Structure formats: structure tokens, C-alpha cells
A and B are shown apart, each in its own frame.
Chain A
Amino acid sequence: MSHENIRNFCIIAHIDHGKSTLADRIIEMTGLLTEREMQSQVLDNMELERERGITIKAQTVRTIYHADDGKEYVLNLIDTPGHVDFNYEVSRSLAACDGAVLVVDATQGVEAQTLGNVYLALDHDLEIIPVINKIDLPSADPDGVAAEIEDIIGIEAMDAPRISAKTGENVHAVLEKIVHDLPAPTGDENKPLKALIFDSLYDPYKGVIVFCRVFDGSFRRGSRVKMMATGAVFEVTEVGTFAPGQFIPGDELSAGMVGYMTASIKALSETRVGDTITNADAPCDKALPGYKKVLPMVYCGIYPADAARYADLRDALEKLQLNDASLLYEPETSQALGFGFRCGFLGLLHLDVITERIQREFDLDLVTTAPSVIYKIYKTDGTMIELTNPSNLPDPSEIEHMEEPVVKAEIMVTTEYIGSIMELCQARRGIYESTDYVEKTRAVLKYTMPLNEIIYDFFDALKSRSRGYASFDYELSGYQTSSLVKLDILVNHEQVDALSFIVFADNAYDRGSRMCKKLKEEIPRQLFDIPIQAAVGGRIIARETVRQLRKDVLAKCYGGDISRKRKLLEKQKEGKKKMRQIGSVEVPQKAFLSVLKLDDT
């Protein structure tokens, strides 16, 4: 098939605007699957993704479309994740495309991530087709939204297809637009091989499966290929294309095509996403630009609730990393929690998703410590360390100064909540930049804020102060010098390293006393009084006491129903198992996340 009939594209959208549903309809209408085979959201195949209704892991599908012009087209739909934390994955998916379908909700209009995704797509020189979805809803305002797209984004939208991905209404028009308005891939089959790795996953039988987009040249089973960045050379054992949920082996991949290759590759590290594949014997002169690898911004300690399951946790992280190269981890130990790992994440949602997947897919109960950003510690001896674990902070006498990461934050909010959101940003040490009104009732607030103020409970605070209407995006903008201290927590006079966190000096007292109050709520009463103290540099700044247990007695035994009594005692014992022993005190796992819940609104 000629390149003329290939379209490589992705669908981009704000969360919940219907990206996955549209993908389902496209797959259905191009006839690759029978209706019976359709699960409701074919692309989102991870259980967790389906539950949250978000796409985390990019997936790719090839479908065949018989267009109205009588020709047959190959549509390579490259799925992209929908959340700001996963911009990295969005970016690498976009690099494999020539065009993008932009889905906008006819009831919600343009949202923060609509813009974020459009900018990313424009960065990759993609042609964009706007589509207005959810016209079946009574509050839909397709014409208003079309005008909004033209005003805010600046792309032609008056003839954008008005569709309902849910009912399938007018999705046909989207397919025709894809065929007629998106460009066919360019590239020369006769030039040396040049293919971009945009994803990979590990299969226990085939080794690493490399997802790639071929820009020039071609290769097939038996070709000797070279990874330009790592220098590794492999003999290709299989090439092919993607069907929903499966791989279809083929003869060759050539310029313009999207597909996969295997080569008995054992280590993911040899096939970096973003690297260029070329011929081992006649390499191309220059690698593709690739794209910037996004580094983790948030770190936290992850420990098995049951210390005996350390090895299981390690296996779980290893397996997850095969599918998610942005997850970093290294072993660490804590006095309070024993053996575990310090893990790096793209953001809080990423952290949340990974910990939930570990608990669900590997059946492991976890204790996670307070998240931390990367602080730069400049020491008096002239050296600098990057601190990811607060308990490793050097003695204050050795510190010359400290720097913390700051982000540019954009908050889109309806005008009625501007006041309370600005108050929140100020309280979080935000420096106001500007307010841009996108229309009468909505504005984008721009702030420069320390990342450390965002990672704790900013999302929740934002939502509760805007009744869920605010959306939020941020990007790292650099480091700034700050007056920071380490806040330590002592439970029954013992310092608990897993509860330490770094805080802006002026906020230490406030945070410390709230932390003590929160822990007092989380730690159940025990046999004796338990003091909970917050300290900075050895000086106690706040204290609460968990009073000793006074009463825990079951008076009555109903008509000799001993089994009922046993059940009550067993429930009590189960609760105890979910506790961590700190000295002689039992601390519930969720207490370690108290620092995330200090906002009092």
C-alpha cells in the first residue's frame, strides 16, 4: 500500500471530554472488530484506567477504513494519556504522528489541558482537526464552543464535525476529515533506515517489544539494526502492526508506517524511548531529534506494610518499570519502616496511580512516606547535593544555602472563585503573574509557585475551593533560594524518620502543629499516653497527646452467640495488623500520609 493511503494520528482532549469513547467508535466503524468483541473502552485496557476513566499508558491501533472516495486507508491511531502528569508520554506519542484530532466537550468548552495538548501538538508540527463531542447532552452548545476554539486556540472550527461519540452520531464525518484533511506521511523508502522509538513494553517470551514510527527506509525480519543512542545492535526477529489488544506480524515496516519490532532484546535500557533505529551496516547520518526525557519531580518512600514482603515489592516495581520508564526507584532504609524504596514520579497523580497499581495488581499493602521534591543543598564546603529524602538533610551547620524547585502554574477558573483561589495561591507562597480572561466568566490565573507547596494537598484544596471547577497545569521553571527547614516528628519521644519533611521556615510552626493534630486523629488510643511532638533542629515547636485507652469492653453476650463475639475480636485484630510498630506505639499506615491533609478548608 502506498504512503498516500496511510494516516498516522492521535486524539487529544481534556480529561473526560470523550477521547477514549471516540477511539472506540473509530475502531468499531472501521470494522476491525465485531460489535460483540467491543468492550466499552477498547484502548483503556488496564483495570485501573477503566475505573478512573483515564488513559495512562499510550496504546496504538491500526485499522482499515473504506472511505467515501472508494479507496482503502490505513489509520494508525496512536493513543495518548490525558493528564498533565503524563505529558511526557503525550509528547512521545505525538512525535510518531502527522496529525491530531482535537476533541472538545460541547458542554464544557476549552479547558486547561485542551490548550496544553494543542500546544504540544503544534510543537510537533501536527495538523489539527477540531471535533465537538457530546452534542447529545441537553446543555450542549456546539456553536458557542466552536467560537471558543477559534477565539482561544486560533484554529478554524466552524466546520468542525459536531458528534456524539457515545451514540456514534456523525463520527463518520470525523473519519472523512482524517482521510482528507490530515497529511499522508512523507519519507523516502530508499534512504537509510530512520525510525523513532516511541514506546516499548516487555513480553516474557519475545523480550522487549519496540513501538516505532518509520520515517525513512525500511526493515524486515532478519535485518540488522542499530540503536543510535545506545549503540546496541540487534537482528530483528519479527516486525508487525497493531490490532486492538494484539500484535499482527507482517513482512516489513517501511517509511510512513507505524508498527513494532522484536529482536530478543532482554533489557529495556538498550532500547530507550526517543532513540532512533537505523541499519547496522549502512546507518543514516543523523539521528532524529527525539525528545527530551522528563525527569521525576516528586519523590517518596514506598515500603511494604508487611516487612517480610520487601522482595515482592521489588519485583512489583521492576515489572511496572518495564511498562513505565518514567518510574524511578532505588532501595532505601528507614528506622521506622525498615527496607523499602525511594521512588521518583512525574507528579502526584503518577504517584497515586503507581501505588494503587502495586496494591491492586500485586496484592501488596503499602506504607508511603510524605512526598518530597528535589532540593538543592549547597554546602559550606562548596559541594552541592540533590536531596530527595528529607531525612538525609545534612546538619544545618554544614549548609550554606538551599534551593527549591519552582513552577509556572496556570489555573483556569470561573470568575466567581478567583478570590478564594488567589487567597490559596498566596498562602502557598505563590507569586502572582497575571490574570487572562478567556471569556466573561472564565480566566487563567498565572502564578510562580514553589513545587513543594503543590505536591502536598494543592489539588484537593483547589478543588474544594472551586467546587471542582478549577483545572490546573504546571511546568517546572527553575530553582530559587529559600529559607527551608526540616520538620521532625517525634512519637512517644522517638523521632520517626518517615514523617520528616522539608518546609518553608515561616510555615514550620503552623505546619508542625497541624501535623501533630492530624496524627492525634490518626493514631488510635493505646495502653498509655502518647506524646506527639513536632521539632525543628531539636527544638520542640508543637505537641499533642493521644490519651491512653480508657474503655474497650463488650458488655453483653447475646444468648450465647459466641461466634458474633469472635467476629468482633477478629475485626479488632485485623485492624491491628494494618499498623506499623514504632517503638512501643502502633501507628496506622495512613498516618504516614497525614502531611498530605493539612489544608483546613
Chain B
Amino acid sequence: MSEKTLGLYLHIPFCVRKCAYCDFLSFPAAQETMAAYTEGLIREIRAYGEWYGGRPVDTVYFGGGTPSLLPPDLLAKIWAALFGAFRIIPGAEVTAEVNPGTLPEGAASFAEAIPVTRVSIGLQSDDPELMEMLGRIHRFPAFLSIYEEFGRLGITDRNVDLMFGLPGQTLAGIEKTLRHVLELSPSHVSAYSLMVEEGTPIAKRIAEGGLVLPPEDTERAMYHRLTEMLAEAGLRRYEISNFALPGRESRHNLRYWRREEYLGLGLGAASFADGIRYTNPRDLREYLACADDPGTLRRDIEKIGRKEAMEEMMFLGLRTAEGVSDNAFREAFGCGIVDIYGSLPQRLVKDGLMSCENGRYVLTDRGIDISNTVLASFLLDRVPA
């Protein structure tokens, strides 16, 4: 039997109220819907367990939506099914996304229902006006109390989610937020630049002129300043939007950039296993109808051949601080990066977008600022020989 490890992602699509910037798969729901969903999710877990139950699972991630909105009895059922169906190894990283203002029975019952080793708390901002604009249901004190509560429960791997580049946000404002957060000495910070997604309330308000995004230069200055401040506090950037104390990186997140396998379970969840990528249905009724039948559940199947694998290694690997080494590329494909990409890497180095040391390519700060342009250039026109 192969001992290749596996990650599990579980999607909990519910939330109290949709945030103004969110276009992710989430929606408010009644208790009965949550129960029905839990039941469907468990059917899917059992079905996949039959296929992948032998593989050692070393990361589990509950994402959403808001996993912490689910009542502890339902969470406990999910965990029991998971533990029964898969080989979750001792020392596995178990992360859950948690939002202040949810946790219906408190942090302790939550941690009892799922044996989390790590929580990711959605703060986004400490500025009440910005939080109001984003449509967040909570304020800083609510965040602080659950942050501390999980700490008291011995869960010290705590991520704080932040957003920058928000309408009305200033460079001084983000500095103040950072200082506020760093006082708590978190082990991990994710800082996301606001992406204005079509169809969201915030996109509408920006289009109508009611909200104004900060200029691109200011937005980039915020990013570089927060990178600097986090580094000073010992949190190293290990991926474009992720910062951690050494050794406290999210192992589950790293799977994505390192092209390690994971199963996405639940509504609209994405998987990568056995050389294909696919996603589950995004419609709840459709999902529940075929949750226990992997054959009909999989949508948008993308076969990852040699060409796609090479492209992915470049455009995913370059998002990380470790970058892509020529040795790793050779090991995977039997040829060097320049054999496939010719003069491209050298050109990008010359343009100051990548650096190269000992055959390892890493994006520079300028390369990160315009990373889509750089990463898109690694898509290949034809299948390499």
C-alpha cells in the first residue's frame, strides 16, 4: 500500500449573513437544512472512505462559510464519521475556520466536538467603520474574547485573517490594525487584498461611486508595510498572503502550493487526487441527491497531464517563499526548467520579477505585485516533448 499522505477539506457553506464582499459558496440556513447537509456530508465521507480509507491523513481543514455556526452535536457527528472512514494519523493538523459572533455553545463545546489543533479566526479589520462596510456581524471585542478562549483551551496555533486595500482604509489605518493584532502574538496571519467580485454588494457600491478603493500604489504600500511589520514580529511570509512563525505554517495550505493530494468534501468543494482535479456540485439539492456516489458527484474534471503538471508546479510553487527549484522540476519531469521554458525565466530575472539562487526561482516583491502577469507566462502553448 502506498503511504502517500492525504489532506481532507470539508466545506460548511452556512453563515449568519453574507458579507458584502463575499462571492464564495455560502448562505444563511435554517436548522433543518444544516441537519440535512450534515447527513449528506456524512454519506459522502463514508463513500470516499471506501476508496481512500487506507491512506494516512495528516491534515484536515474545516472551511466555509462558517464551520463554527454548526451546532456542536452536528460537528461531532461529522468528526465521528470522518474518524471512522479515514486513517487520521496522530499529530495530524486539524484546522477550523471560526468567526466571532457564531459558536452557538462556546469555544469549549466546539473544541470538544472537533479535536482542532489550529483555528483560523476571521477578524478582517479592527476598525468598526470598515467592519460595518464589509457587512461583518462582529466587532473587535468579540474577536478578542474567542481568540483568548481558544488560547485558554491550549490551542495556540491561531491564525488571524485580515483584509487590506479596503475602501476608506489608509496606510496608517492598516499599521494601527497590525499593531493591535501583533500585541496578541498570533502564530499565523493571513492578509488578503480585497478582491472586488462581480455581483457582490460591495462591487455595486464601488461601481455607483459610493465607495472608493484606495489607489493601487497605496494598496501595494499597505501590502509591503504589513509584510515588513509581520517580519519584524517574526512572522515570515511563506506564501503571497500567508505569514507564520517558523514551523507554524499551515500544513494544509502548503499542500495546495506543493501539489500534494487532497479530497474536498461537501458542497462545491475542490479535490486533487489520482491525477485529476474536480469539484462537487454547487447546488445544494443536486449535491444531496448524489453525495454518496462519487461517480456522479464529480464535476469539471480536469485531467492533469504532463503539461498541466509543469504549469502548476510553476504557477503554484512561485506563490511560495520556497519558490521552485530546478532540481525539484527535474525530479518530477526528467528535464530542467529552461528545457521547457527557454529564455523566459532569465527574462523575468532580468526584468526584476524573479530572483534565482542555486537553481531556485523565487518571486521578488515586484514580481509578487504583478504575480498574475508573471504566473500566466508559465502556461504552455503545446505539450512539451
Q: Which residues of A contact B (CB under 8 A)?
A: 527, 549-566, 568-570, 572-573, 576
Complex Cα distance, B371 from A549, in Å, reads 11
Whose C-beta in chain A lies nearest to the C-beta of B257? A557
B240–A555 contact, CB under 8 A? yes
On whether the beta carbons of A557 and B256 are closer than 8 Å, the reply is yes
Give me 4 other A-B pairs in contact (C-beta within 8 A), A527-B353, A560-B9 excluded.
A527-B351, A566-B312, A566-B315, A566-B379
- Determine if B272 and A559 form an interchain contact, defined as CB atoms under 8 angstroms apart: no
User: Taking chain A's interface residues, is the majority helix, strand, or loop, or is none over half, making it mixed?
Assistant: helix
Asked if B78 is at the interface of the complex by the 8 Å CB criterion, the answer is no
Bound-state CA distance A33–B216 (Å) is: 65
A584 to chain B, nearest CB (A): 10
Of the candidates A552, A562, A564, A570, which one forms a contact with B369 in the assembled complex, judged by CB atoms under 8 Å apart? A552
Q: How far is the CB of B358 from chain A (nearest CB, A)?
A: 26
Task: Output the least CB separation between B157 and chain A (Å).
Answer: 19
CB distance from B328 to the nearest CB of A (A): 18
The answer to the question of B71 belonging to the interface, with a C-beta cut-off of 8 Å to chain A, is: no
A569 to B270, CA, bound (A): 18
Interface residues in B270-298 (C-beta closer than 8 Å to A): 270-272, 277, 279
Q: Say whether A560 contacts B270, CB under 8 Å.
A: yes
> Can you list 10 residue pairs at the A/B interface with Cβ under 8 Å?
A551-B369, A554-B372, A559-B63, A560-B255, A562-B277, A563-B270, A564-B270, A566-B311, A569-B375, A572-B372
How far apart are B242's CB and chain A's nearest CB, in angstroms?
10
The answer to whether B372 touches A569 (Cβ under 8 A) is yes
User: For residue B300, which residues in chain A have a CB less than 8 angstroms away from its CB?
Assistant: 563
| Inter-chain contact B270/A562, CB cutoff 8 Å | yes
Q: List, in ascending order, chain A residues with CB within 8 A of B192's CB.
A: 555-556
Contact mask for chain B residues 302-319; partner A; CB cutoff 8 A; 1 contact, 0 none: 100000100110011000
B264 and A559 within 8 A (CB): yes
Compute how far the CA of A563 lies from the CA of B315 in the bound complex, rounded to whole angstroms: 12
On whether the beta carbons of A556 and B379 are closer than 8 Å, the reply is no
Q: Which residues of A contact B271 (CB under 8 A)?
A: 560
Is B262 an interface residue when CB atoms closer than 8 A count as contact?
yes
Cα-based distance from A552 to B223 in the complex (angstroms): 13
| Shortest beta-carbon distance from B126 to chain A in Å | 19
Residues of chain A within 8 A (CB-CB) of B262 are 560
**With the chains together, A538 CA to B99 CA distance in Å?**
64
Residue of A557, A559, A564, A568 with most chain B CB atoms under a 10 A cut-off: A559
Contacts of B219 in A (CB 8 A): 551
Task: Tell me the smallest distance from the CB of A377 to a CB of chain B, in Å.
Answer: 44
Is B341 in the interface zone, CB < 8 Å from A? no
A576 CA to B371 CA, complexed, in Å: 15
Distance, CA A572 to CA B376, complexed state (A): 7
B255: A residues at CB distance < 8 A: 560
Take A558-B24, A561-B270 as given contacts and tell me if A550 and B9 are in contact as well, using a CB distance cutoff of 8 Å: no
What's the Cα separation between A576 and B368 when bound, in Å?
19
Residues of B within 8 A of A576 (CB): 376
Interface string of B201-231 (1 = CB under 8 A from A): 0000000000000001101100000000000
Query: Which of A558, A562, A572 makes the CB contact (< 8 A) with B373?
Result: A572
Contact in complex: B279, A553 (CB < 8 Å): no
Known contacts A556-B195, A560-B9, A569-B372, A551 near B316 by CB under 8 Å: no
Chain B: minimal CB distance from A563 (Å): 5
Residue of B nearest to A561 (CB): B270
Q: Which of B193, B270, B315, B353 contacts A553 (CB 8 A)?
A: B193
In angstroms, Cα B193 to Cα A406, docked, is 57
Whether, in the assembled complex, B136 has its beta carbon less than 8 Å from a beta carbon of chain A, the answer is no
Binding site for A on B (CB under 8 A): 9, 11, 24, 63, 192-193, 195, 216-217, 219-220, 240-241, 255-256, 262, 264, 269-272, 277, 279, 300, 302, 308, 311-312, 315-316, 351, 353, 368-373, 375-377, 379
CB pair A549–B373 under 8 Å, yes or no, is: yes
**Interchain CA distance A552-B373 in the complex, whole Å:** 7
Which residues from chain B contact A566 at a C-beta distance below 8 Å? Answer: 302, 308, 311-312, 315, 379
Known: A560-B262, A560-B264, A572-B376. A554 touches B195 (CB 8 A): yes
B272–A560 touching, CB < 8 Å: yes
Q: Are A569 and B315 in contact (CB under 8 A)?
A: yes
Query: A555 CA to B369 CA in the complex, in Å?
Result: 10
Contact: A550 with B368, CB < 8 Å?
A: no
A550, B372: Cβ atoms closer than 8 Å? no
Cβ–Cβ < 8 Å partners of A565 in chain B: 315
Residues of B within 8 A of A560 (CB): 9, 255-256, 262, 264, 270-272
**B345 shortest CB reach to chain A, Å:** 15
| Contact between A562 and B379, CB atoms less than 8 A apart | no
Specify which chain B residues have a CB less than 8 angstroms from the CB of A555 in the assembled complex.
192-193, 195, 240-241
Note all chain A residues with C-beta closer than 8 A to B240. 553, 555
A553-B216 in contact (CB<8A): no
- Whether the pair A549, B370 counts as a contact (CB closer than 8 A) is yes
**CB closest chain-B residue, reference A576:** B376
A residues in contact with B375, CB < 8 Å:
569
Are A573 and B312 touching (Cβ within 8 A)? no
B contact residues around A556 at 8 Å (CB) = 192, 195, 241
Whether B371 pairs with A554 at a CB distance below 8 angstroms is yes
A267 to chain B, nearest CB (A): 41
**A-chain residues with CB within 8 Å of residue B373 when the two chains form the complex:** 527, 549, 552, 572
A-side contacts of B311, CB under 8 Å: 566
A562 in contact with B370 (CB, 8 Å): no
Give Cα A551–Cα B312 distance, bound, in whole angstroms.
Answer: 22
Residue of A nearest to B63 (CB): A559
B370 touches A559 (CB 8 A): no
- Chain B residues contacting A557 (CB-CB under 8 Å) are 256
Q: Give CA–CA (A560, B257) in the complex, Å.
A: 9
Instruction: Give Cα distance in the complex from A554 to B197, angstroms.
Output: 12
Given contacts A554-B371, A572-B372, contact A562 B195 (CB under 8 A): no
Say yes or no: A553-B272 contact (C-beta < 8 A), given A563-B279, A576-B376.
no
CB distance from A516 to the nearest CB of B (A): 22
Residue of A nearest to B300 (CB): A563
Taking A552-B373, A553-B370, A573-B379 as contacts, is the C-beta distance between A562 and B256 under 8 angstroms?
A: yes
B258 to chain A, nearest CB (A): 11
Known: A560-B256, A562-B277, A563-B302. A551 touches B269 (CB 8 A): no
The smallest beta-carbon distance between A549 and chain B, in angstroms, is 5
A550 and B315 within 8 A (CB) = no
Q: A551-B219, A569-B379 are in contact. Are A562 and B371 (CB under 8 A)?
A: no
Minimal Cβ-Cβ distance residue in B for A549: B370
A527 CA to B353 CA, complexed, in Å:
10
Greatest chain B CB density within 10 A among A555, A564, A576 is at A555
Bound Cα distance from A563 to B300, whole angstroms = 9
B353 contacts which chain A residues (CB < 8 A)?
A: 527
CB distance from B311 to the nearest CB of A (A): 8
Of all A-B residue pairs in the complex, the 7 with the closest CB atoms, nearest first, are: A561-B270, A550-B216, A572-B376, A552-B370, A555-B193, A555-B192, A569-B376
With a CB–CB cut-off of 8 A, which chain A residues contact B370?
Answer: 527, 549-553
Q: Which residue of chain B is the closest to A575 with respect to CB atoms?
A: B376
CB distance from A554 to the nearest CB of B (A): 6
Do the beta carbons of B241 and A561 come within 8 Å of each other?
A: no
CB pair B277 A552 closer than 8 Å:
no
CA distance A439 to B29 in the complex (A): 67
Smallest CB separation, A67 vs chain B (Å): 63
Kindly state the separation between the CA atoms of A555 and B24 in the bound complex, as whole angstroms.
Answer: 14
Q: Which residues of A sit under 8 angstroms from B11, Cβ to Cβ?
A: 559
CB pair A562 B316 closer than 8 Å:
yes
Q: Do B241 and A550 touch across chains, with their CB atoms under 8 A apart? A: no
Q: B379 to A553, Cβ gap below 8 A?
A: no
- In the complex, which residues of chain B have a beta carbon less than 8 angstroms from the beta carbon of A559? 9, 11, 63, 264, 269-270
Complex: A22 Cα to B375 Cα, angstroms: 58
In the complex formed, the residue of A with least CB distance to B366 is A527
Contact assessment for B264 and A551 in the assembled complex, using a CB-CB cutoff below 8 Å:
no
> Min CB distance, B251 to chain A, in Å?
13
A551 close to B216 (CB less than 8 A): yes
Instruction: Give every chain B residue within 8 A of A552 (Cβ-Cβ).
Output: 369-373
Chain B CB within 10 Å, residue with most, of A549, A551, A569: A551
Residues on the B chain within 8 Å of A527, using CB: 351, 353, 370, 373
